[in-house]
Chain A
């Protein structure tokens, strides 16, 4: 199954749409700096705000795609989530799991590799809050459950020197 992606450019407003959703191009500097900003504001919940902002903005795109393309089974839905991730330039993902939860493995990661490009190595802790939110959205959409139904924890991280980043996803 190849993801169908319709990229359009509105000649009047000069805005981009991805499968009907307003989208914008940004670079790894911006992503790294916003991730760092979330970390710097941990005392007000920065990392979770970042994570939940992803979950809440990605979920409608996934739901919309499932509906318009008659994607029915959870396995197919997780596959769509996996492919969307790559289309958006966020990296290469493998997903496995069921309604109780599962695992997401990143072979390539925009967030981690972008961070390394910008600042170099290891800061001693994982920083990919973006993908935590994405994984939560993907599982909740696949199993048709409301937001915050899943929690993702990053247990291995490219930024920490691991070969791949790994997330365990747990149903709340």
Chain B
């Protein structure tokens, strides 16, 4: 028995995300928003365009870090949520590996990326592929999946680093391939931060 991602995706995608009377969406221990993809992509594209070349790498790391911290905190909220416990946990038989499989099913259900695990070397390395992800929509000619990079590193932190909240940034993630640069899929490698 292992996590069956189609079951998880279908069940979680059916959960209605609705705002309260106060216009907020509290869920998974965080405040959730549901915004047009165009906003996130436009902001990333324009700020990258505005930055001088010599500061670009630093800005890209900052963009990745936004998602890393988000993925770490929200990821913790998700894997401890009632929804995750009822939908995913009954299928978990391989410990952290299955938690990660479940986490990527959630990642997919939330509309971040149709993605999954290619390979896990426990505590060392993980390879992720995404066959459809919103960050590739602009086709800017350079790799833009900063959000997937950050969240993937965060998920591996949650699985194999020190217990929450002390385990963040043990791992980092690089993008090896990208739909936005002409590859058939995006590929992401998570490894230990030096």
Contact = CB atoms under 8 A, between A and B. Distances in A.
Query: Do A and B come from the same complex?
Result: yes
B60 to A, nearest CB: 11
A88 B63 CA distance: 22
Given A25-B33, A57-B36, A14 B109 contact: yes
* Size class of the B contact interface (CB-based, 8 Å): 35 or more
Interface string B56-74: 0001001101110110011
Interface string A66-103: 00000000000000000001111111110000000000
Interface of B: 9, 13-14, 16-17, 19, 21-25, 28, 30-40, 42-43, 46-47, 50-52, 59, 62-63, 65-67, 69-70, 73-74, 108-112, 114, 132, 134, 137, 147
Contacts of A31: 33
B42 A45 contact: no
Given A41-B59, A108-B24, A57 B30 contact: no
A107 B24 CA distance: 11
Interface in A9-25: 9, 13-16, 18, 21-25
A37 interface: yes
A38 interface: yes
B41 to A, nearest CB: 8
A29 B70 contact: yes
B39 A58 contact: yes
A114 B25 CA distance: 11
Contact of B22 (A27, A34, A49, A107): A107
Interface of A: 7, 9, 13-16, 18, 21-31, 33-34, 37-38, 40-41, 44-46, 49-50, 52-54, 56-58, 60-61, 85-93, 107-108, 110, 113-114, 117
A46 B114 CA distance: 30
B13 to A, nearest CB: 5
Contacts of A88: 19, 33-35
A65 to B, nearest CB: 12
Contact of B31 (A44, A93, A114): A114
Given A15-B132, A22-B134, A89-B32, A56 B73 contact: no
Contacts of A57: 35-36, 38-39, 42
A45 B66 contact: no
Nearest to A17: B111
17 contacts: A13-B114, A14-B13, A23-B36, A26-B32, A26-B35, A26-B70, A30-B70, A37-B47, A37-B66, A46-B47, A57-B38, A58-B39, A89-B17, A89-B19, A90-B35, A92-B24, A93-B23
